A = this chain, B = another copy of it.
Amino acid sequence: MAETLTDKQRDKALAALNGWVYDESANSISHVFKFKDFSEAFGFMSRIALAAEAANHHPDWSNSFNKVTIILTSHDAGGLTQKDMALAKIIDEILI
């Protein structure tokens, strides 16, 4: 099980990400993405699903047509870990 990040580690990792928002009450980071249509949104989700499965770390997420909301936290560790930041980074890179 990964260790939870210190505030300093978290802030440093967040600063290296693109538009992710820290939710203190949920101990998570989140991001809402909008696409042209469902096909583009689900294509994005499919690429994340493959990366998440490879990393054995999975998002909590929802989708409505062209909108994808992603929440990352490490349920087993009870907060944010390096795994969340690594998955967020992968998601950012999928969008480049």
Contact = CB atoms under 8 A, between A and B. Distances in A.
Interface of A: 38-39, 42, 45-46, 49, 52-53, 58-65
A62 B65 contact: no
A8 B49 CA distance: 40
Given A38-B53, A46-B46, 8 more contacts: A38-B49, A38-B52, A45-B45, A58-B64, A58-B65, A60-B64, A62-B62, A62-B63
A49 B43 CA distance: 10
Contacts of A49: 38, 42
Nearest to A61: B63
A63 B70 CA distance: 10
A24 B4 CA distance: 42
B62 A38 contact: no
Contacts of A52: 38
Contact of A60 (B39, B60, B61, B62): B62
